[in-house]
Amino acid sequence: MSQQPERIHKKFHIDRTLMFLLLAMTCVSLLAIYCADPIMATRLQGTYLWAKQGMWYAIGFLMLAFLTRFGSDRLFTGVKIFYWILMVLLAILLVDKYLIDLPDRFIRPVNGTTAWYQIPGLGTFQPSEFMKIVLIIMVANIIHEHNLGKTEMSFASDFQLFWKVGKISVPPLILIFLEPDTGIPLVIIVSILVMLAVSGVRREWVWLGAACLIIGFGGLILMFKFYPNVLSSILGGGYKMRRIYGWLETEKYINTWGNQLYTSLLTIGSSGLTGHGFREVLIRFPEPQTDFIFSVIGQNFGFLGTTSVVALLTTFDLKLISIATKYDQPRERYMVAGMIGMLLFQQLVNMGMITGLFPITGITLPFISYGGSSMLSYMIPLAIVFQMSSENKSRLMH
């Protein structure tokens, strides 16, 4: 196995700008979840989810501090252990769903999906959220090692890389898809494709991927319009097809499949410049603390609030890109590319689905939506990014 160049221990320089952006997203998340409380499901109202999210953020910052001390090299070399632990946990979830009904105090399905372990007194743990991070670290390792041994840029070499990546990514994707969950597999696939696109493969693959994306998206809309029965057969019918109907024929299905999108559009479209007021209840919609947190921000703070959040998230993404482009080791840059692909995809799809640009997929808004597993998982690559920034500053000082 190839080794990274030996690194001399240097003083850690915290990136104050990156930390400020992270703290700002923390505040936005807690405020948005607090504003969502009056329109949550009755069983969740008054449960202080904003305080629980604050607890998860506190744990997350402690985790971030520990991992920056732990060292990025150790994270890259020890990631296989976490991969197999998560594979076992994912397999147990499927055993509970399809074979043996394990006690509800350990595993409890939510909306038909078996994806969470119950942690008494704390909440839930979702292995798939951590698996998506583990995979981008492992794929970064694979790409780096492959490129070190690559002697020519050829289709044969690219196929070897694709095979290596597929061997470790397809098994967990299948397990997660069977939960069933389509949101996280989409996030994982997009992040890996972004990493492969910047890995040094032939440019023909990038153009082919872009063409497939455009044709696939356009074909889905055309098939829905002219051959809905064929599309239903391809998608397997059920809730997937209902989501397409709710997306493309929203007003026709206001009271059923299009209700979520319709209420979201009503909320965003009527909020004006400054919103309807702090914690005002204009209309209720499901999952305001997770999938539709951006609608909550729009309802309470209007155009100024939503624009500020978009600006904050964009600045955060650009900061990550800036750190990666200044770093001198390719392995970490590949990982950041996967992280950026993951974040941008989630941000665009989450905001797009509540404004009608994309169908509703259940993809949350990173660092803003309620959820301990999602936020904690992102602290792992963020620890590596903080170390990258520190090394960039150390190199400039010498």
Could you give the CA distance from residue 189 to residue 365 in angstroms, rounded to a whole number?
17
Q: Which of 294, 365, 274, 284 is nearest to 37 (CA)?
A: 284
pLDDT mean over 16-31: 98
* Count of C-beta atoms within a 10 Å radius of residue 104: 10
Looking at residue 6, its pLDDT comes to 46
Could you give the CA distance from residue 3 to residue 303 in angstroms, rounded to a whole number?
50
Residue 50 reports pLDDT greater than 50:
yes
Alpha helices, H only, 121-269: 127-149, 155-177, 183-197, 203-226, 228-235, 238-248, 259-269
Token pair of 294, please? Answer: 């951006």
Could you give the CA distance from residue 35 to residue 294 in angstroms, rounded to a whole number?
11
Instruction: Using the Cα atoms of residue 371, residue 373, residue 379 and residue 382 in order, give the sign of their dihedral.
Output: negative
- Give residue 120's region: left, alpha or beta (phi > 0; psi -120 to 50): beta
Could you give the CA distance from residue 184 to residue 204 in angstroms, rounded to a whole number?
27
Could you give the CA distance from residue 178 to residue 255 in angstroms, rounded to a whole number?
29
Could you give the CA distance from residue 264 to residue 261 in angstroms, rounded to a whole number?
5
The answer to whether 188 and 135 have CB atoms below 8 angstroms apart is yes
- Phi, psi dihedrals of residue 236, rounded to the nearest 5°: 85, 10
pLDDT mean over 135-154: 95
Residue 331 reports pLDDT greater than 70:
yes
Q: What is the pLDDT of residues 254-266, one digit of tens each?
A: 989 999 899 999 9
Looking at residue 9, its pLDDT comes to 56
pLDDT mean over 304-316: 98
**Where residue 1 falls among pLDDT bands split at 50, 70, 90?**
very low
Query: Which residue pairs, CB below 8 angstroms and at least 24 apart, start in 220-226?
Result: 220/244, 221/248, 224/248
Could you give the CA distance from residue 66 to residue 69 in angstroms, rounded to a whole number?
5
Q: What is the pLDDT of residues 335-393, one digit of tens each?
A: 999 999 999 999 999 999 999 999 988 899 999 999 999 999 999 999 999 999 999 99
